[in-house]
Structure 1
Amino acid sequence: MTFWENITGGDLTREWTGFEARAEALPADHRAAWEQIKAHLLPYSDFTGRNLVPIVDGALGLLEETAADGQDVRDVLGDDIEGFCAALAGGEGARSHRDRWRERLNGNVARKLGRSGG
């Protein structure tokens, strides 16, 4: 990866284009699960989304394998795709960017209140 690709995100664009091309070959129920997985993994992304690339690649690989074996997507992922994604992203209760922002905001407010009160 060159510096320019790192700055512009060109490498990520190629990765995601490849993921989407692979997902197009999936059966309809597996594609629907793919869309849900993407939506539920997004909150666990860092600023660039690079931390999700191996996770998304693995999830898509799982969907491809189960489709090739003729398995139902619900048998593999269960009914709680959001929980499945939380587990993929680092375990149930994994911190998302919203959690980090909330903690930072609460810390800033606490510091400001502490300064103004003293």
Structure 2
Amino acid sequence: MHLKQIIEEKRAWRAHMARVKALPEDYQLVYREIQKYIFKAGPVEPNASIDLLAEIVQLFWEGAAAGRTVLEVTGDDVAAFCDALID
């Protein structure tokens, strides 16, 4: 991996996390738990996990914009929500 690629990936990750931090607090809390779960039980390739997390953030943004609670977006069983996304 080249230094330039590493720097670009770090920039992308920081931008991703800035989007997470701009979400409502309840969405941030659930995102952090999902992130832990995905990194432990998710796709083997790191880029696949990051892509999945980016999709979740987009889904959360849409839910927050629509005035829905985070559990209305994920359902009451957040682990089942994650498993469905991984499959």
State the TM-score, normalized to the length of structure 2.
0.84
Rounded to whole Å, the distance in 1 between the matches of 2:18 and 2:66 is 20
Amino acid at match of 1:4: H
Aligned twin of 1:36: 33
State which of 1, 4, 24 in structure 1 corresponds to 2:2.
4
Matching of residue 27 in structure 1 with residue 24 in structure 2 = yes
Rounded to whole Å, the distance in 1 between the matches of 2:21 and 2:34 is 15
Which runs of 4 or more aligned residues in structure 1 lie more than 4 Å from their structure 2 counterparts after TM superposition? none
Rounded to whole Å, the distance in 1 between the matches of 2:31 and 2:16 is 10
Q: CA RMSD in A?
A: 2.0
> What percentage of aligned pairs have identical amino acids?
27
Amino acid at match of 1:86: D
Shift of 1:52: 1.2
With a CA cutoff of 8 Å and minimum separation of 6, indicate the structure with the bigger relative contact order.
2
5+ long unaligned stretches in structure 2: none
Aligned twin of 2:80: 83
5+ long unaligned stretches in structure 1: 91-118
Give 3-state SS (helix, strand or coil) of 2:29's partner. helix
Superposed, which structure 2 residues align to 1:87-106 within 5 Å?
87-90=84-87
Superposed, which structure 2 residues align to 1:64-79 within 5 Å?
64-79=61-76
Amino acid at match of 1:32: L
